[in-house]
């Protein structure tokens, strides 16, 4: 890329649906979930560094609770490029603050991209080509570009983006005006979306110039951007808690989507491990010492190699053993892990498990 590019990694999430492996001081982005030696945060930094042309252009925004962990995971990250939120206020505040800071240092023409820390991407070359195309559009026009993932099944766990008019191509990749964003639909609606061929999954990845996004935030989310401009990051705990989709992307008229195919998963819960690692010849996904009888369709994980998990007659379950906790849940109910965490939070006996 000819234009300097400043990727910002959004690393403040909790990853609660990966509990008990993901905990308060060891959230999902610090974990290696694909069998490699690199955590999700480190893998995200690895692929963005090639595009950013070095550590000096890479930024991370995270929570005060795990900031030290980020420093340990990314020791080469310049300290001034790590933004630490006093209190998490969702992605709209994170995008606004980071964009302001980059504008102060590099000006309104600075090209910025925002990327969640916990995504898995298979084809790094296709990912880099996609970002190059998105940057060309954002550099040449008033545009907020989002990457839409071409859906492979009728997911009810993702938001969707409807493609409108095609506005052109960069590097032979087509761009479309965004017609609308839709939150997680029911099964019937998701199937209808797929049948049209005009919908993408909302990846949560965005590219724009600093001045463009700040102008749009002033128009559509002044309650977030104006306090930050007037008071700086100290005002953070008083900002409204809104996602960037709700605060800006659903309202702006300059949103464009680039539908992409580079092998993507947002690793939302334990079922993602099966999507990444399942092999046809094996009845289960085993990241543990497992002895099973008539067990199939299971995801089995243990952090201690000395722990042995024995199963008989189980089907379509997730079993996770981490230190002093064992989780057993049916695969179709992993989304409910967040509910059980609320129960644990209300009982002082279980504080150390969170």
Please compute, for residue 100, the number of CA atoms within 13 A of its CA located in the half-sphere on the CB side: 20
Rounded to an integer, the average pLDDT of 208-230 is 97
- Indicate the average pLDDT of the chain: 94
Say if CB 320 and CB 270 are below 8 A apart.
yes
Place of tokens 């209300």: 346
Tokens found for residue 315: 């089907």
Would you state the pLDDT for residue 261? 86
The percentage of the chain sitting over the pLDDT mark of 90, rounded to a whole number, equals 85
Question: Mind listing the pLDDT tens digit for each residue in 250-305?
Answer: 999 999 999 998 989 988 899 999 988 999 899 999 999 999 999 999 999 999 99
Would you state the pLDDT for residue 157? 84
pLDDT beyond 50 at 220: yes
Cβ-count burial of 115 within 10 angstroms (0-12 exposed, 13-18 middle, 19+ buried)? buried
* Short-list 11, 35, 13, 18, CA closest to 271: 18
Question: Strands, DSSP E only, in 128-240?
Answer: 144-149, 160-170, 173-182, 199-209
Q: How far apart are CA 77 and CA 57, in angstroms?
A: 9
Rounded to an integer, the average pLDDT of 115-119 is 95
Question: Mind listing the pLDDT tens digit for each residue in 71-88?
Answer: 999 999 999 999 999 999
pTM: 0.93
Would you state the pLDDT for residue 1? 47
Bridge partner list, 147: 258
Alpha-carbon distance values, 183 to 186, 225, 245, 328 (Å)? 10, 24, 9, 29
């Amino acid at each position: 890329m000819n234009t300097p590019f400043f990727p910002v990694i959004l690393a403040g999430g909790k990853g609660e649906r990966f509990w008990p492996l993901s905990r308060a001081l060891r959230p999902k982005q610090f974990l290696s979930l694909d069998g490699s030696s690199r955590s999700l945060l480190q893998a995200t930094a690895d692929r963005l560094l090639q595009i950013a042309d070095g550590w000096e252009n890479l930024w991370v925004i995270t929570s005060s609770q795990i900031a030290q962990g980020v420093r340990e995971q990314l020791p080469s990250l310049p300290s001034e490029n790590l933004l630490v939120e006093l209190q998490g206020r969702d992605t709209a505040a994170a995008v606004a603050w980071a964009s302001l800071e980059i504008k102060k240092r590099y000006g309104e023409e600075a090209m910025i991209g925002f990327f969640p820390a916990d995504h898995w991407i298979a084809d790094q070359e296709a990912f880099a080509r996609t970002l190059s195309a998105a940057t060309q559009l954002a550099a040449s026009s008033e545009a907020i570009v989002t990457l839409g993932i071409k859906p492979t099944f009728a997911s009810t766990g993702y938001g969707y983006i409807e493609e409108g008019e095609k506005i052109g191509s960069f590097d032979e990749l087509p761009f479309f005006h965004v017609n609308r964003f839709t939150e997680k639909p029911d099964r019937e609606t998701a199937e209808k979306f797929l049948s049209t061929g005009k919908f993408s999954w909302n990846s949560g990845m965005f590219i724009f110039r600093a001045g463009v996004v700040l102008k749009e935030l002033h128009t559509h989310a002044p309650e977030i951007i104006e306090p930050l401009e007037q008071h700086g990051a100290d005002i953070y705990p008083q900002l409204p808690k809104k996602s960037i989709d709700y605060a800006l992307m659903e309202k702006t008229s300059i949103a464009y989507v680039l539908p992409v195919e580079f092998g993507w998963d947002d690793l939302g819960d334990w079922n993602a491990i099966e999507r990444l690692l399942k092999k046809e010849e094996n009845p289960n996904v085993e990241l543990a010492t497992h002895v099973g009888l008539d067990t199939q369709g299971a995801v089995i994980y243990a952090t201690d190699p000395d722990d042995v998990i024995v199963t008989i007659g189980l089907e379509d379950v997730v079993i996770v053993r981490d230190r002093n906790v064992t989780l057993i849940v049916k695969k179709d109910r992993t989304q409910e892990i967040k509910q059980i965490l609320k129960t644990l939070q209300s009982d002082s006996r279980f504080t150390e498990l969170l």
